Amino acid sequence: EISSPEGFRDKAILELLFSTGLRVSELVSLNRDQVNLERKEFGVIGKGRRSRVVFVSDTAGAWVGRYLKSREDCWKPMFIRYSGKTPDADDKTGESRRLSARSVQRSVEKYVKKARLPVKITPHGLRHSFATDLLHSGADLRAIQELLGHKNVSTTQIYTHITNPQLREIHTKFHRK
């Protein structure tokens, strides 16, 4: 429901998660000045303090841009909560309003229920969907490793189990009968 500030924010979050493959911790730590919506890219420091460049799709960039324009505050966090206690008077940056990872998880659960999806999807599940979508479209496993910020390609290979039907197709088509 994008007519509410929360719904608008959630739409931007869902688009950004699927577009980038961000970890939920990376998403909630984002600051407004960190994301370059003109270039549709930004840097993050991920797990193990590894830095990587993240690319944003046109659709996700448009939703994030619209969400940020709708905000009337000048707070630093990219995504803020709209409920709960009011920010501290001393908090000029809005840090006390930063959205938590758990809030994002609850939000994704809420939309999965609303959409009546027959599977459990989490923010990490959207990360898997990002990787799987790239694999299905023919992206190289090494490139996906870089996009996900994995240290070892073996971690990225976990995402390949979903493409087994493609392997069967290739086997049937190309293996001598």
Catalytic residue among 40, 97, 98, 127: 127
- Contact of 150 with 127, CB cutoff 8 Å: no
Q: Kindly report the backbone phi and psi dihedral angles of residue 118, in degrees, each rounded to the nearest multiple of 5, phi listed first.
A: -80, 0
Told to judge if 92 belongs to the known catalytic residues of this protein, a careful annotator would answer no
Told to judge if 171 belongs to the known catalytic residues of this protein, a careful annotator would answer no
Q: Kindly report the backbone phi and psi dihedral angles of residue 36, in degrees, each rounded to the nearest multiple of 5, phi listed first.
A: -95, 100
Catalytic residue among 47, 92, 102, 151: 47
Told to judge if 66 belongs to the known catalytic residues of this protein, a careful annotator would answer no
The CA-atom distances, in angstroms, between 131 and each of 22, 137, 149 are 11, 10, 11
Catalytic residue among 23, 40, 97, 98: 23
Which one-letter DSSP state was computed for residue 87?
A: P
Catalytic residue among 92, 106, 124, 142: 124
d(C-alpha 133, C-alpha 129), whole Å: 6
Return the active site residues. Answer: 23, 47, 124, 127, 150, 159
